[in-house]
Every structure is written in structure tokens, then in C-alpha cells.
Structure 1
């Protein structure tokens, strides 16, 4: 038999041994995890909650610092949400507010 065929046969045997060893180790790890979960009273739903994290709850403040101001009406927009009519389709730089001029307590129209 050629050396190539011998090595190919050895590789197939090693691949099979690796597959068996992996399955054995995986089964052992699962048993250990199940034992720990039982010991601590952890259920699979607990793991799903941790993985997903807390449910998203949007901020209810509704207040953002305005970034844009309409020079005609004085209306402001934070850049969040839908563009107001007075700025829609126009260059934002024209309406930009310099940060020193911003009053964070002023009401914001968007």
C-alpha cells in the first residue's frame, strides 16, 4: 500500500476518534451543567433571560437638547424623530445651534 493511502486511513481513524472523544466530553459537560443548574435551582428560562438582557424600556422623558433652530419661528428640533416641516429637505448646517447658545431647559418642539 502506498504511503498516501496509509496516511489517509490513519487520518480517517483519527477523525473518528476525535468525534467520539468530543461527543464524550460534551456529554460530560452537559451532565455537569445540569447538576449545577439543579443545585442552584436554575431553569432554562433563567438562562434565556440573562442572554437577552432586560427588556428594552424607552425613556419617557421626551426631552432632548435642541440642535437646530428655525430663525423665523424660533422652533427647535433635537435631531431625534421625524424632521419638522421647517427643516425637511434643507441643509441642516443652516439651522445648527452653537452649543453655547443652547438652553437645556427650554422646551423642544421635536
Structure 2
């Protein structure tokens, strides 16, 4: 599945952890999130892609006490299967939950992959 995933950890700032196969995922990310920066939860379809944002399902916080947000750009067939934030949380979160559990406490984030 092609997916861009951006988040932050306990001590490291906002980073792309999955790049969706793009050398630079920022332009694709900007297409879906450019005018919805302040919304805590979002599901938004833009053409053949969609943006999904929700707070960490386990309520994890960074060292400043802010709840960690997870932001995704979803591509392909999965985009058609999701119609809400809750659908996205149920379909997309299981794809990255174990990775985040391993990354959250690291002093530096891993490089974006996939």
C-alpha cells in the first residue's frame, strides 16, 4: 500500500516516517493538508488521494505534554474504502501501530521509508 505518514515522537519533532515512494513527500502532503492545519481530526478526499489526521489512539504525548498527531496521505484502493476519520483510524492505524510503538521513545526518528 502506498502511504505517506507524518508524526512526531516523545523527543523528536514532526517527521515523515513513510514517504509513499516519493523522494520528497512534502508536495503530496501539502496537496491534502495545506488549508486544514488547525483541525485535530480530518478525513479529506482530494482527487485520487486523501488526507487523514487523528490523535494518537493510545494518547501518547511528547515531552511538552502535547498529544501526538498522526497524519497520513492515502493512495490507491484504500482511499475508496474510507469515508470518515473513524474508518481511517480502523483501517490505517493497524498498518503502522507496531512501528510507532518501536519509534516513539527513540532519541531520533528513523529515516522515512516505503
Normalised to the residue count of structure 1, the TM-score between the two structures is 0.21
Normalised to the residue count of structure 2, the TM-score between the two structures is 0.21
**Looking at CA atoms only, which structure, 1 or 2, has the larger radius of gyration?**
1
More strand per residue: 2
